[in-house]
Structure formats: C-alpha cells, structure tokens
Amino acid sequence: MTTKPGKKPSVREVSKDDSKDGFLPMTRAEMEARGWDQLDILIVTGDAYVDHPSFGAAMIGRVLEKEGYRVGIIAQPDWKSVEAFSVMGTPRLFVGITAGNLDSMVSNYNAGRHRRKEDVYSEGGVPGKRPNHAAVVYSQVSRRAFPGVPIVLGGMEASMRRVAHYDYWEDKLRPSILSDTKADILVYGMGELAAREISRRLKEGDTNLSGIPGTARFLGAKTAATMDFTDCIILPSWEDLQADKRHLMRLTKVVEAQQTPYCGKRLVQWHGNRAVFMEPPAMPLDGPDLDELYELPFKRAEHPSYKEKVPGFATIKDSIIVSRGCAGGCTFCGLGFHQGKFLSSRSPDSVFKEIRKLAESKTFRGTVSDLGGPTANLYASQNGHAEACKKCHRPSCLWPTICPHFGIDEEAQLKLLRGAREQPGVKHVFVQSGIRMDVALRTPEYMRELVQNHVSGHMKVAPEHMDREVLRRMRKPAGDFPAFMEKFFELSEAAGKEQYLVPYFISSFPGCTDKEMGAVEQFLKKEQWNLQQVQDFIPLPMTGSAAMYVTGLDINSEQPIPIVRNAGERLRQRRMLRPNAENKGPARQLDTVD
C-alpha cells in the first residue's frame, strides 16, 4: 500500500493483504512493506510468534487488524534492552503485554522448582527466552521505551494474577500484578471484546477506560478515596493477607463465585491506599461471533523469520478448536478463571470450513490431530441459557453432580464428528483433548462414535486420583473411571481395535498423604499400568488448590488438612505412581503423563 506524500494511513485504510507474506509485522521492514510509518498497537509476547488461533497474541492481533488497526508483534524480546522493544517505533494507541500462552513461571520452572530444559513455545524449544514474571518485566521495559503510552495487560499470567495471589516458585504471597506493572488496565479472560473497546476509546481520544467488562484497573489513592464502592464486594486486602494467609481462602472463593457475567459483582481489593477495581467478566462470544474469530486470516504457521520449529505449535498445527469455556470448576485448574465456566461452541459449518482450509495446506497429511477445546465432549453443551443459570454462583456445573440445567447435545456432537470425517482430503479425525468421563457415560452413542472412529490408538483421560476425599477437594467425580475404562475396552474390542487409555494422576495434592496415594498405587498394581512420567502437584496462582496449599484448609469445610511440602515426601508420592517400574513383563499400557 502506498500513501500520498504528507498523509499518514488511517486505521481504516490498511488492508490485511498489504504484507508480502500476510503475517503481522515483526520488524520495521515488514511495516514499511505495508506502507506503515507507525503502528496503532504493539503486542509484546513471551511466546514465539505463531499465527494460529490457539496463540493469544495472534488471536488478539488478528481481531484488532480486522477492526482496521495497524498491529505489530514483538515476540520474546531481549528484556535487558529498551531498543529491542522500540524496533518498530512508538505505537499510537497502546502497548499490549502478554507473558504468552502460559504463566511465565510455569514455562520456566517445573514442580520441583527447577529450571525447565525446554520451552515448548520458543523457537527450537530453547529455554530462557522469556523472563520470570514476564508480564511485569515487559511492562516495566515498555514504560521506559514508550513514556506516556498506555500499557494493557492480558493473557493467562495477567488473568491468574489480577488479585493478590500465592506464587509457588517464590513460595510467597504477591500483590496484584497491577501493583507491580502499574499498567493502565488489565484484561482478564479471552479478551477480544475488551481489546476492541479499549482500542475504540483510545482511538477516539477517550482515556477513560472504566466500565469495560472483563477488565481490572489499579486506582490511584485520590480516585480510590472518592469512589463509591457500595455495590461492590470488598475482598481481603493485601495487608489482610500479609497479616493472616488464611484470608486467601475467602479471597479465592469470592472471586470464583463472582466469575459470572450474568450476576457477578464488581470486586475491590485494597493495596494500601490504592485499590484494584475489577469489573465483572465479559460475556462469552458464541454463535456467529465465535465463528468469525476462527475464520480470521491466520497463516497457521510460525513466522517465516524462524529457522527452527516451535514445539508447542508442532503438536497442534493440525488441530481444530471447536469450543471455549470449562464448566468443571476443578480446583487445580485455571481455565474457569480465564476462559470462564460458560460454554460456547462454533457451528459445524465453521469447523468444516476450517478443516477444508487446513486440508489445502502443503504440510497436511490427511489427519486432523484434534477436534476439541478445554473439554472435547462438552461441544454444543449449554449452560447460562436458563434463568437459573443467570443467578447461579456455583463454581462448577458438573460437581458434585451434573446440574439439571446443564444441557448436553449428543446429536450435535455426533454431527460434528461424522461431518469432520467427510471433508475432502481428510483420512482421520482424532480427539486428543481431555474429555469428561461423567458426561461421556451419559452419551453412549457419542462414546461409541468416539472410541470406534476417533482414537489414535491412545486416549488420554484424567481420573486425577482414586481416593474419594482427594477427588472431592479437586471437585472431580469419584467412581466414573472404572466404568469408563470398562466401556472403552468393550467398544474397542467390538471395533476390532487394540487401543489404550493414558490416565493422568496427580501426586501430593492438598489433603493427600501416603495413605490416600495408596489408593492410586493399588489401582495401578491391579491394572498393571506403568506410568513413565507423573504429574507432581503445582498450586497455580488464584486456584482453589493454591488456597488449600497455602492455608492448610479444605476448600469445602475449611477444616485443617495435611499438606505435603517437603521435597522428600513429594518424591515418595511420585514413586507410588510407578509401582510396576521394575516389572519386566507385559503391561496393559506404557503411558506418558506430562
């Protein structure tokens, strides 16, 4: 695109096809190839730039590009260099900051608090390309690089650290990430609606960013002193938490209960004389609005500047996201706090269109590796549609039992699977995302279709544990795994296929001692399962399990429970998950849990 001398291109004059290769620009040269002399929005991410809808920076970038904004991406910059952030100049509207698809501490460290040997979201899997607490570091460097330019936080790290929280790797409580970054606004959740609204206001010269659903702001002392908080819930303050860590339990439960766009209240958390002011969540995108997101012109590839592959992309490059949200409310998982518990699904036509586009790729070999989302078999399920749902503050629609208002659409699930297999160029369609076994047992035709046509040979399932009390603290149903396992092998045999289950268990969960771990050990011995890798519990920021780990209290009864903290005890529990490690005979399955 060219412009007349002396005229800057407006945000509505930029075509998505102006770039030679179609990627969002990462360098000044790529900007100039589009005829741009200035960006409207710069996105800084802790991941390598992969233009695929499963990467948050790419999704937000494409959404804002469609609105007509000039968007550039700086991926994994050298955080010790201000110049690394300013290679494309000062953006006109704002700098968007994300640590990447994962919390940076999860990316950098394992459960033993040791440095990871690989970062799957970096080129070549090379570790060390993002700093600890990346969103904080990137924000601080951006302030120096772009004085006066608004800073907008987003992504998983921002979502899960939006209020005061526990950091496992530092083994201490930390204030809201807004306190450390001094960002102008934080976007929690998936973020497309908030990003559009923030961009619109700033483009129109409106610097008032209040009242945007799915956002939080760190109010200054003067503003906080004059605000009317009578319709808000006041959370335990940063000072309360420092005085008594048991306040973390109430903080977590209140934030979780208000994680609803229908009846959630505004939340306030004081940090000294300043206040984190959090709006209720944004409404989930659904129907045509959700379809539109995944039909944006993603290149479905790593940026061409990379010479090596990005491992995290290699595993999902031939996958299709069909739904959003998680209704499970598991206490060890952050999806409910980030994507929300209310489900939304794409239309079959939109999914099939993406499959056909994928099939045209030169690298496609006929196999759709995954047709899923946070939970694959909750596709087309409904919650939030009934009036009772709009008044509900339950953290889970599926625990302790499946809510009577929760709608399961087995016919839609079957239509999706069968239609996907019929698309031209497709030989196989697998489902690799996790599934809810309790829901699968209620949908026999879907389960038959899944097991007989959509398992690659190994199917991952997540019983998590076998002790009822531990499962209760996880908010996972007890007793479903044996029934599911029996049905899985029955259907596999009927189809004439030798297929295996890959179970996922967690050791050292709050309330789990050697006695409770023994239930898993005995099960594995009985089934002759050898787990080659096991998941040692990590208390992720803002989750219910982190609150239990810190306070030593059961999340349901708030009574004391034992907590395993010692490295030796944690190691012993992990070893209990490998009771057949020395067994040289044939095992039912050799599995990997990561």
Which ranges in 279-363 belong to alpha helices (H)? 287-294, 311-314, 335-338, 348-359
Bridging pattern class, strands 172-174 and 165-167: antiparallel
* CA pair distance 346, 322, nearest whole angstrom: 6
The domains of the chain, with CATH numbers, are 28-278 (no CATH), 457-594 (3.30.750.200)
Q: What is the DSSP string of 91-126?
A: -SSEEEEE--SS-HHHHHB-TTSPBPS--TTSGGG-
Residue 148 Rama label (left phi>0; alpha psi -120 to 50; beta): left
Judged by average pLDDT, the poorest of 156-160, 204-208, 259-263, 534-538 is 534-538
- Side chain identity, residue 579: P
pLDDT in the model for residue 532: 66
Report the distance separating Cα 220 and Cα 240, nearest Å.
19
Residue pLDDT, tens place only, 479-531: 899 999 999 999 999 999 999 998 989 999 999 999 999 999 999 999 888 87
User: What 3-state class would DSSP assign to 462?
Assistant: strand
How many whole angstroms separate alpha carbon 105 and alpha carbon 542?
A: 14
Query: Per residue in 299-343, pLDDT tens?
Result: 999 999 999 999 999 999 999 999 999 999 999 999 888 999 999
Of 50-64, 307-321, 460-474, 520-534, where does mean pLDDT reach its minimum? Answer: 520-534
State the pairing for strand pair 535-536/500-507. Answer: parallel
Neighbours of 232 (CB within 10 A): 15
Task: Output the six-digit token pair for 382.
Answer: 């409904």
Sequence-separated (6 or more) residues with CB below 8 Å from residue 339: 189, 190, 324, 325, 326, 374
From the list 461, 531, 452, the residue with the least C-alpha distance to 498 is 452
User: What pLDDT does residue 15 have?
Assistant: 41
Q: Using the 8-state DSSP alphabet, how is residue 560 labeled?
A: B
Give the Cβ contact number of residue 494 at 10 Å: 11
Residue 63's contacts (CB-CB under 8 Å, 6 or more residues apart) are 192, 195, 196, 293, 296
Task: Compute the distance between CA of residue 297 and CA of residue 408 in angstroms, rounded to an integer.
Answer: 32
Q: Is residue 196 classed as helix, strand or coil in its secondary structure?
A: helix
Could you report the per-residue pLDDT of 405-461, keeping only the tens digit for each? 999 999 999 999 999 999 999 999 999 998 999 999 999 999 999 999 999 999 989
Extract the tokens encoding 417: 């699977």
Residue 11 has pLDDT above 60, yes or no: no
Amino acid in the structure at residue 259 = Q
Which parts of 146-286 are beta strand (E)?
A: 151-154, 165-167, 172-174, 185-187, 215-219, 233-234, 267-271, 274-278
Would you state the pLDDT for residue 336?
A: 86
Residue 33 contacts residue 18 (beta carbons within 8 Å) = yes
Using CA atoms, how far residue 287 sits from 58, 127, 322, 324, 420, in Å, is 21, 39, 11, 12, 19
Chain centroid to CA 372: 14
Average pLDDT over residues 165-186: 97
The pTM is what? 0.93
- Indicate the helix (H) or strand (E) that contains 428: strand 428-429
Q: Closest Cα partner for 375 from 404, 333, 414?
A: 333
Q: Which burial class, exposed, middle or buried, applies to 517 when counting CB atoms under 10 A from its CB (0-12, 13-18, 19+)?
A: buried
- pLDDT tens sequence across 215-248: 999 999 999 999 999 999 999 999 999 999 999 9
User: pLDDT band at 538, cuts 50/70/90?
Assistant: very high
462 Cα distance to chain centroid: 17
Other beta carbons within 10 Å of 210: 13
Q: Kindly tell me the number of DSSP H helices and DSSP E strands found in the chain.
A: 24, 24
Separation CA 125–CA 46 (nearest Å): 13
- With tokens 């969002």, the residue in question is 24
Close Cβ partners of 477 (under 8 Å, ≥ 6 residues apart): 398, 399, 400, 401, 437, 438, 471
pLDDT of residue 580: 55
> Is beta strand 458-464 parallel, antiparallel or unpaired with respect to 500-507?
parallel
